A and B are shown apart, each in its own frame.
Chain A
Amino acid sequence: MSATASTMTSNTPLRDRMHANDEAFKTTGSLFGLTALTRKEDDPGTYEAVWHILSNLCNTAWATGCKVSSSPIAAEGGDALWGLHTATGEAVCISRGISAHAGLLSDMIKHFIELGYEDYPGFKQGDIFENNDPHYGGIHSPDFDMCMPIFYQDKLVAWASCVSHVSDSGSVTPGSIGFLNPDCYSDGIPISMERVGEHDAFYPWYEMRIRSRTRTPDFVMGDARGRLAGCITVRERLHEVLDKYSLDFVLDAMNEYVEDSRRYAVKRVKTQTVPGRIRKSQFKDLAMKGKRVLLAKQDIDCMFNLPMDLTINADASVDLSLAGASGTVPFGENISPTALKSGLMMGYSHVVGFDMFNSGPTTAWNVEMPPGGSWANPYPVDYQAASGVAWAPAVTWLSNLYEVFGRLFQMRGFVEEMAAGSGSIMTAEFAGINQTGMYLTGLTLEQASQGSPARGYSDGQNSAWCIYTPEGDFGNAEVGELYYPILFLGRNVAPDSGGFGKFRGGLGHTAVWMVYNTPGLEYQCGDAGMRSKTVGNHGMYGAYPTVPDRPGYGHKTNLKELIEEQKPLIHERGGPDNPAVTSKITAELAEDSAVAPFVTPEALVDYDVIVHPISGAQAMGDPIERDPESVVNDLNEGWTTQRVAREIHGVVTTQPNGHVAADHEATAKRRQQIREDRKQRAVPFKEWWLEERKKVEAQENMDNAVRVMWESSMRLSPEYGEGVRKFWNLPEDFTFTPDAG
């Protein structure tokens, strides 16, 4: 007789139990075959209480682990995560921190079980397993994924897990945002599905490898000890819970929490969305031509096609396709399908399945395998593809999910649940000797605090949100100054950085740093989902998308003299036509609008200045429907400019007593004029289509990166290509033609 979930005991091999669970889900439609939630129904009070205790023990692990780690990324930014899993790997609950990883950790445990590790090398109390290797499901090398089996009364009853983002992954360039990595061999130190310790201690050779193959071994080992401390915390606290509430109750309840969460998400789709087909295109740029690169093949510009095609079926299940995804790139911005799917759990949990954050909700998804050879499934064609910062295309693609579900919630009237798209993610990493003489490299947490998306009833919040972590915390400036040889000259809300719409996205901010007390510092302006040549396809309900990411810097400046003369320094960015870096200071090399990402061509020196902008989020609604009082408020706060107020929002103002006020009558007139102007200059779609199709066929004014992208998208997904040809009525054999060479 084949094993079914109901005949499984804790003595059955884990792999058999896992397969029986899959089978039970297939036949009953409920996870673990749980057609009834018995523990919840019989004892709802304890069920709820234990849920909160388990959540809290994960948070205790987070607090403990982040403090044990000495790295500013975990200790100051909280950029880590701990989780509790069932014996078969499903995430039951997780801590605060980088929630994007819960799916990855769950898949890693399942992968260890599937590969037969229970037989060899076996699982026992105190074992430490890790992976960071994208070829085996990891996302990128700086994210070290750990898990430890939890035994109770001699049985494996659960797993503790953790991920932390280390400051240096040993990749070919310093730091952890390996956007320049040309292939997987340059991605850094691999931990490939390994047992890295026993008896709650790391093997000596694990530490030796980290010492010889990362640039900041003390921090990387500090993170490892933090992960371990947190996982032991999960285990010890879980033991207390099992002692108090009984093994049977807690194990049953753990399964029920996952199934409960699945039911919640499915019900939410059915009661708050509409069945049908949703399409959302998305693109991002990676312009590297003419910049400092590692290999000749990287002297190119790239454009990513990141399409989302989603169908909500009659039974509220969700089909998801990435047909049309463009080809791999010779940079660290490719992602394995496993990692992408795990990232989806985060996005989906944010917008749909967040009652009990765990593996449940995404089990109602059918994700079609992305086209082989695309950025989302590189290995079948390009086994050497790099994934140094695999999050970059993934989060840009996931941003679609916010807008898509925002639209669906609107259709059912749930305006309070609506969100527009996310902003972009541009990172700042430093590498060099700091003020204490110590070599340091690592990520600042500036990008972890963006504006939040516009909501259906209000603007988003400024500097309070980040797509990949609910922490939304950029850390204290003073702590950043402690680690890196920099001084903050400013941290300002960036005007007009949240798109333009009826409701705008929360605004981002600009950090202004002065390099200080170092023989030389490398500034890596990195791509973790930035856009510099384009804007997001997030013109939701007629809004204009958030501006591109364009950092600035000044090399060999006059700041030392200005300080000595006690003259005003540079504290903010300045307007787009009046940049502070070229007007407030002098510099031998001044760049106000650099196309990101890049590594500075030479090391920055003392008194050099960096102007690093962090994106706001996306807006929604016709900009001329924005409440004039909101525009006036933004003007008075310095969050928008007269040009945007008048030209884009159609708001006319007066200034009777120093403070700006709206002239409502003139505003109404101006807005009527804008409506008329729009109708005057616009043409019927058909008229445009007849002309545009000729330009498409002639490939007129299309950058080579765009043509390369279309060529690969249409080749890798023939049906998608067919759709493009048919829409523009192009010949059956039409392809876009990249430049030769």
Chain B
Amino acid sequence: MASFDKADIEKLIDGVLPWPATQDMLKSSKDEDRFDKYVEIMQARVDFEDPILLPLTPMLFIVNDNGSRVVKCRCGQCFGDYRVNWKLSALIYVRDDEEKMEQVYVGREMPDPGWIQLREYICAGCGAQLEVEAVPRGCPPDFEFLPDLDTFYRDWLGRPLPDTCEFKDATLDQINEWAK
């Protein structure tokens, strides 16, 4: 079973690992300790202390914040319960007319704003652009990933988390609050 230096994995993440070493990683049977090393690397790079449970994206992490599982940006900005689509806690800027679209796509490269809108999800803490959606009006935001964290830790990693949390999409609960 292959195993790689943490330093090399860091270089890979930063896009500076030489190609032969990258190929070696691609071709070798996968290292079993990668997840733990990756989490350690990310933990050292983020601006918060809460232990990372899952790197949701390179910028967003599900963390254990004093017993509750919440999504945090690497800058520490909190996006709430991981079972609610974190986009509901982000800032959003939508390009839904030509004037706004033109700042990204000019001339023949511009999509038709009557067909799709560009939604930019921004972190209120650090101003990072976390995701961009290109969807027609009416499309609910994609809840890209709702992990079954307990199954993952208990059955796949063989080390259950100390507490459990029901595997359910709670996004509509939040919407119902707003709708009142």
A442 within 8 A of B: no
Q: Mark A66-89, 1 if CB is under 8 A from B, else 0.
A: 000000000000000000000000
- Which chain A residue has the least Cβ–Cβ distance from B22? A416
With known contacts A416-B12, A550-B109, A701–B136 Cβ distance under 8 A:
no
B residues within 8 A CB of A432?
Answer: none
Residues of A within 8 A of B59 (CB): 541-542, 622
Set of chain B residues within 8 Å of A285, measured between Cβ atoms: 115
User: Is B108 touching A683 in the complex (CB atoms < 8 A)?
Assistant: no
- Beta-carbon contact of B91 and A684 below 8 Å: yes
A103 to chain B, nearest CB (A): 25
Question: By the criterion CB–CB under 8 Å, are B12 and A457 in contact?
Answer: yes
Q: In the complex, which of the residues A279, A496, A676, A684 contacts B144, with contact meaning CB atoms closer than 8 Å?
A: A279
Indicate with 1 or 0, residue by residue over B121-165, a CB within 8 angstroms of chain A CB atoms. 110101111111111111110111111110110011000000000
B46 contacts the other chain (CB 8 A): no
Q: Which of A275, A407, A539, A592 makes the CB contact (< 8 A) with B133?
A: A539
Min distance, Cβ B38 to any Cβ of chain A, angstroms: 3
Q: Check B172 for interface membership: any CB of A closer than 8 A.
A: yes
Contact A685 B92 (CB under 8 A): yes
Is the Cβ of B137 less than 8 Å from the Cβ of A686?
A: no
With beta carbons under 8 angstroms apart, the residue of A417, A496, A685, A700 that contacts B91 is A685
Chain B residues positioned under 8 Å from A602 (CB to CB): none
Number of interface residues, chain B, beta carbon within 8 A: 85
Contact residues, A573-627 vs B (CB, 8 A): 575-577, 579, 592-593, 621-624, 627
Chain A residues within an 8 Å CB radius of B54: 274, 411
Cα distance A79–B169 in the bound complex, in angstroms = 44
Q: Is B87 an interface residue (CB 8 A)?
A: yes
Flag whether B44 is at the interface (Cβ < 8 A).
Answer: no
B145 touching A703, Cβ below 8 Å: no
Residue among B38, B131, B132, B167 with max Cβ neighbours from chain A (10 Å): B132
**A728: interface (CB < 8 Å):** yes
B55 proximal to A (CB < 8 A): yes
Assembled-state Cα–Cα distance A416/B34 (Å): 12
Contacts of B152 in A (CB 8 A): 274-276
CB-CB < 8 A to B131: which residues of A? 539-542
Give every chain A residue within 8 A of B34 (Cβ-Cβ).
Answer: 412-414
A403 to chain B, nearest CB (A): 9
On whether A576 and B107 interact (CB within 8 A), knowing A503-B15, A535-B116, the answer reads yes
For residue A300, give the distance in angstroms from its CB to the closest CB of chain B.
Answer: 14
Contact B15 A696 (CB under 8 A): no
Task: Using A283-B116, A411-B54 as known contacts, say yes or no to A678 and B26 having CB atoms under 8 A apart.
Answer: no
User: Are B146's CB and A703's CB within 8 A?
Assistant: no
Which chain A residues lie closer than 8 Å to B88 at the CB level?
Answer: 685-686, 689
Cβ contact within 8 Å between A303 and B136:
yes
Q: Contact check, B93 vs A647: say whether CB atoms are below 8 A apart.
A: no
Of A116-124, A136-144, A719-727, the stretch lying at the interface with chain B is: A719-727
A536 with B134, Cβ < 8 A, contacts A275-B152, A314-B151, A682-B93 known: yes
Q: Check A276–B145 contact: CB distance below 8 A.
A: yes
Flag the segment in A10-18, A653-661, A705-713 that touches B.
A705-713
Write out the residue numbers on chain A whose beta carbons fall within 8 Å of the beta carbon of B118: 539, 544
Q: Is B58 an interface residue (CB 8 A)?
A: yes
- Other-chain residue from B38, B142, B151 in contact with A280 (beta carbon distance below 8 A): B142
A736, B122: Cβ atoms closer than 8 Å: no
Given contacts A277-B146, A277-B169, 5 further A-B contacts (CB under 8 A): A274-B156, A275-B148, A539-B134, A548-B110, A550-B109
Those 9 A-B pairs whose CB atoms lie nearest each other, nearest first: A539-B132, A413-B38, A675-B127, A576-B107, A593-B108, A682-B91, A542-B129, A276-B147, A727-B140
